[in-house]
Amino acid sequence: MNYPTDRPATWFVTGASRGLGLELVTQLLQRGDNVAATTRSKDRLIEALPGVDTSRLLPLQVSLADETEVTAAVTATQDRFGGIDVVVNNAGYGFLAAIEEVTDAEARDMFDVQIFGVWNVLRAALPQMRARRSGHIINVSSILGLTTFPGWGLYSAGKFALEGLTESLAAEVVDFDIAVNLIEPGYLRTDFLRPTSLGLPESTVDAYPAIREMTRAHLAMPGTQLGDPVRAAAAIITVAVQGDAPLHQLLGSDSLEFADARLNTLRAEFDAAKELAVTSDHQG
């Protein structure tokens, strides 16, 4: 088991000042663990932790897209706490738009956070984990990393990429006793669907009225989502502490429902594809 039992664990958590990340940081500090928490605003993070003992907190104002800043943050964490036991790549935001409505800049911004930011963290953290032959990488994806819906193409593109990256990573580092997990929540009752965390296109196309209706429905959803961020954060801690979760750890009964539907659809499509698939083999 990678999780230390003879000392406080050290966690490196990105996207820590809101939503699931903030709840995770809160619970970790209450447990007495060491936490390095990245955010775009250290002041906002500290203000969001009233009454919480922050003596074991290292707040880090970091642009995850800047490799130099990320490397410095990881180094600062190692200097302060002696090493990193668990990395949680949690930073992210939603985006609701038709594919043709997404600008080049919006697409690149999304991948800067969801993929290149994660890659920067991994490049910085993995060498010391390999050297110690111990560590745990937890990448927070989404059920929309396994399936998708109209309007969620950009967000899902980032999460699908994260899923592929993480699956490959898990196979690469298993011989170094580094654990890897994907967390795939459904809808959580956080501010994810509020303007602070949900991007919308600069301009829209009249051809997609269903996406406009979906956008209105999602903007009205906050406060009614099924998932509890307190329980979700506790589940992530359980994944790290117990160390026996599957690579793909779904969270929420809605996530389970969507995943089952996706599996059924894929099986039907693969079955339908068999006849033509075998015709592309060399004959003889």
pLDDT in tens, 168-182: 999 999 999 999 999
The answer on pLDDT for 18 being more than 90 is: no
For residues 248 and 265, give the distance between their C-alpha atoms in angstroms, rounded to a whole number. 18
Q: What is the CATH number of the domain that holds 240?
A: 3.40.50.720
268 within a domain of the structure (yes/no): no
In a domain, 74, yes or no: yes
Instruction: For the beta carbon of residue 148, count every other beta carbon within 10 angstroms.
Output: 18
Domain residues for the domain of 228 are: 10-253
3 state DSSP class of 49: coil
Q: What is the mean pLDDT of residues 113-120?
A: 97
Residue 3 maps to a domain: no
* Rg, the chain, Cα only: 20
Q: Does residue 264 fall inside a structural domain? A: no
- Residue 78 included in any domain: yes
What's the pLDDT at 196? 78
What global pTM score does this model have? Answer: 0.95
Task: Judge whether 261 lies within some domain.
Answer: no
| pLDDT score recorded for residue 2 | 80
SS (H, E, C) 136-158: EEEEECCHHHCCCCCCEHHHHHH
Q: What is the pLDDT of residues 80-99, one digit of tens each?
A: 999 999 999 999 999 999 99
Average pLDDT estimate for 13-33: 95
Q: How many domains does the chain have?
A: 1
Distance, CA of 219 to CA of 225 (rounded, Å): 11
> What pLDDT was estimated at residue 20?
93
| 266 lies in some domain | no
Tell whether 277 is covered by a domain.
no
Catalytic residues: 155
What is the per-residue pLDDT for 1? 55
Angstrom distance (rounded) from CA 255 to CA 238 = 18
pLDDT tens digits, 183-240:
999 888 877 777 878 999 999 999 999 999 989 988 887 777 777 899 999 999 999 9
